[in-house]
Amino acid sequence: MRTVVDTILAEVFERCRDNRDGTLADYIPELAEVPPDTFSLCVATADGHVYEAGSSDVEFTIQSISKPLTYGLALADRGADAVAAKIDVEPSGEPFNEISLDPVTERPRNPMINAGAITAASLVAGEPADRFERIRRCYSAYAGRDLGIDHDVYASEARTGHRNRAIGHMLRSFGIITDDPEDAVDLYFRQCSITVTSRDLALMAATLANNGTNPLTGDCALAPEHVERVLSVMTSCGMYDAAGDWIARVGLPAKSGVGGGVMAVLPGQIGIAVHSPRLDAHGNSVRGVQACRELSKALELHFLHVGRAARSAIRSSYTVAQATSRQRRTDDERAALAAHGDRARVYELHGDLLFAGAESAVRSVEAQSETVDAVVVDLHRVDEVSDVARRMLANLRDNLEAQGRACAFVDPEGHLGAVASSVDPATRSGRVLVDLDSALEWAESVVLDRHCLVGRVPESVEPAAHPLFSALRTDQVASLVPRLAVVEYPGGTTVVRRGDPAIGIALILSGRVSTTVTGPNGTTHRITTFAAGMTFGELPTLTGSGYLADIRADTPLRLAVLTPELFAELGASAPDVKVALLERLTESAYKQLDTVIRGLGAKGPILAVP
Ligand code: GLN
């Protein structure tokens, strides 16, 4: 199937194809012999998909595109400081083969001009005989295949490369190179003669875009801590004395070579490669530059392109009056949450939390902090949290707590560095909770502790005082209670399993139970939690169906069970009792449904109505 990317690539290719400006590099005799009109264009994504146009499998010598790669190897071998002591990172505005050092620092101005590149080659670790093989392996790791060398081009340059030898000896005389400069120059000639296709080059660029790891092989070609520096010098110096125009019109870190290749990188996104051997006066491929300009425009790749200003990372925000937890509540608690639930606010964040998104989210939370007692910051949809964002969130929590407000994070993936505490919100160590529901329950408890002084869930109830019986007369209760079966379960035990037949209507006398389902990946999700004074198991008892979910005792549990047989028998022996019980059950079912429906509205509709 032809994609939009294929179409754009083909259009750019067509627009550049007839441009025959420029000439072959002829100062290396062998390069003057290559077919001048070969042309190809490749784009590789940071996850390794390659789009190609033209003859993308033609091999050519990498030439100066080797410079950032060897510089990266020198950084890895010697460390950034040792390399910086020998090679600066200032754009020179000079031709690539200028025989010059910075007059003040007496160092090569950058690793993209030959003086810097020969110095970088001299810094590659290993015995002289092994160093080239290390370089070749390193480039191969970028490309994801074993690369070879063009011996003719190497021999040709080695025979005629007097200017580079002059640079090598100059570096030796200034003490930048301390060993035999001929070795460093020879290594440099060899690295320039390594052959690549434009497909290879696009994958090498994609490897840099992917922070140094080849997306197809998973091999690390360059440690992430050095990628930024390599891309920096490509940005400021990669296109030699045309670097300024390149940044303005293409806006990508890039490197060209006199073999006609150009490689450009959009960090985190894609790598681009063009091969077309005719060069302009700077030594850059004419169609390479043109194609990169066109591609950058068509694909909107300029790295300083401002798509939109950073938006807040807040996806939605609501109070616990609008969306409640799955903890079933007493009538008084429900009323208190409806009246005072706006004192606890949830902020759901999403996307990558970098500086700008975190800053505006934290600012919004702080702006509303006076109106709340509890804040939940939900990070479960956040992909990545930068160090500075982590610091800002920790600071937000400290500030809120200093103002006497409670703050909890939902952070199942541990973005904040703290391990999320267990499913049981009662053990809220550090108040980093594994799921939004536990956090909602925690926020509700903050509100209820302040605003609901009566009618809270009791520690325990006696069977006769259970709210299910509140509509019965005392004598009716007195004759029913002795017929209930009182059972106890230790905390952590499973009371019933999904599909089990009904044990009856279970009246909770003390303790807590949760209905849970196990997801496809094995994680357990809580559906509802019930506590003393509540009932469960009505549906299977009334309909004769099996349980829809597992039911587990969260704590030691005491139940009084009205068995299915007893319930059926009441129809004959005490129909008025049965009717009163059913009225109570129906009323409670509708209240629960009401709570669920309100919550759906606040947390975001499941179905959008056009
Ligand atoms: N080997 C070539 C040289 O140093 C590489 C130059 C280049 O590609 N710009 O002359």
Query: For 153-198, what is each residue's pLDDT tens digit?
Result: 999 999 999 999 999 999 999 999 999 999 999 999 999 999 999 9
Task: For residues 53-76, give the mean pLDDT.
Answer: 97
Does 114 show up as a binding residue in the annotation? yes
Look up residue 274 and give its amino acid.
V
The phi, psi pair for 354, rounded to 5°, reads -105, -170
* Confidence at 128, pLDDT banded by 50, 70, 90: confident
**Residue 83 clears pLDDT 60, i.e. is over it:** yes
Task: For residues 510-522, give the mean pLDDT.
Answer: 85
**pLDDT tens-place string over residues 270-324:** 999 999 999 999 999 999 999 999 999 999 999 998 876 667 789 999 999 998 8
Lookup: tokens for 52: 């190609």
CA angle, 296 then 301 then 307, to 5°:
130
In this prediction, residue 526 carries a pLDDT of 76
Catalytic residue among 71, 188, 489, 547: 188
Percentages of the chain per state (helix, strand, coil), in multiples of 5: 45, 20, 35
Give the ligand 1 atom nearest the CA of 240: 9
- Whether this prediction's pTM lies above 0.85 is answered by no
The torsion defined by the Cα of 321, 325, 326 and 329, in degrees rounded to 10, comes to -50
Pick from 28, 69, 114, 119 the residue to mutate for probing ligand 1's pocket: most ligand atoms within 8 Å of its CB. Answer: 114
d(CA 437, CA 435) in angstroms, rounded, equals: 5
Question: How many CB atoms sit inside 10 A of residue 163's CB?
Answer: 13
**pLDDT tens-place string over residues 240-280:** 778 888 999 999 999 999 999 999 999 999 999 999 999 99
Does 110 show up as a binding residue in the annotation? no
The alpha carbon of 66 and the centre of ligand 1 are apart by a number of angstroms equal to 9
d(CA 277, CA 19) in angstroms, rounded, equals: 12
Q: Is 240 a catalytic residue?
A: yes
Catalytic residue among 139, 240, 347, 489: 240
**pLDDT tens-place string over residues 26-63:** 889 999 999 999 999 999 999 999 999 999 999 999 99
**Residue 430 clears pLDDT 60, i.e. is over it:** no
Does 43 show up as a binding residue in the annotation? no
Task: For residues 459-468, give the mean pLDDT.
Answer: 91
Q: Is 258 a catalytic residue?
A: yes
DSSP state of 540: H
Mean pLDDT, the chain, whole residue set: 91
Does 496 show up as a binding residue in the annotation? no
Does 122 show up as a binding residue in the annotation? no
Ligand 1 site residues, Cβ closer than 6 angstroms: 63-64, 96-97, 114, 157, 164, 192, 257-258, 283
Question: How many CB atoms sit inside 10 A of residue 364's CB?
Answer: 15
**Ligand 1, atom 2, residue with closest C-alpha:** 63
Among residues 315, 260, 246, which one has the least CA distance to residue 39? 260
Share of the chain above pLDDT 70, in %: 95
| Tokens 């390594």, residue located | 194
Lookup: tokens for 482: 């002795």
Among residues 441, 448, 413, which one has the least CA distance to residue 427? 441
In this prediction, residue 609 carries a pLDDT of 46
**Helices in 370-453 by DSSP H: which ranges?**
387-402, 436-451
**Residue 544 clears pLDDT 80, i.e. is over it:** yes
The alpha carbon of 228 and the centre of ligand 1 are apart by a number of angstroms equal to 24
**Ligand 1, atom 4, residue with closest C-alpha:** 114
**pLDDT tens-place string over residues 480-493:** 999 999 999 999 99
The alpha carbon of 240 and the centre of ligand 1 are apart by a number of angstroms equal to 11
The alpha carbon of 43 and the centre of ligand 1 are apart by a number of angstroms equal to 24
Q: Name beta bridge partners: 263.
A: 255, 273
Q: Is 188 a catalytic residue?
A: yes
Task: For residues 98-102, give the mean pLDDT.
Answer: 88
Structural domains of the chain in order of their starting residue, each with its CATH number: 4-299 (3.40.710.10), 314-451 (3.30.750.24), 463-600 (2.60.120.10)
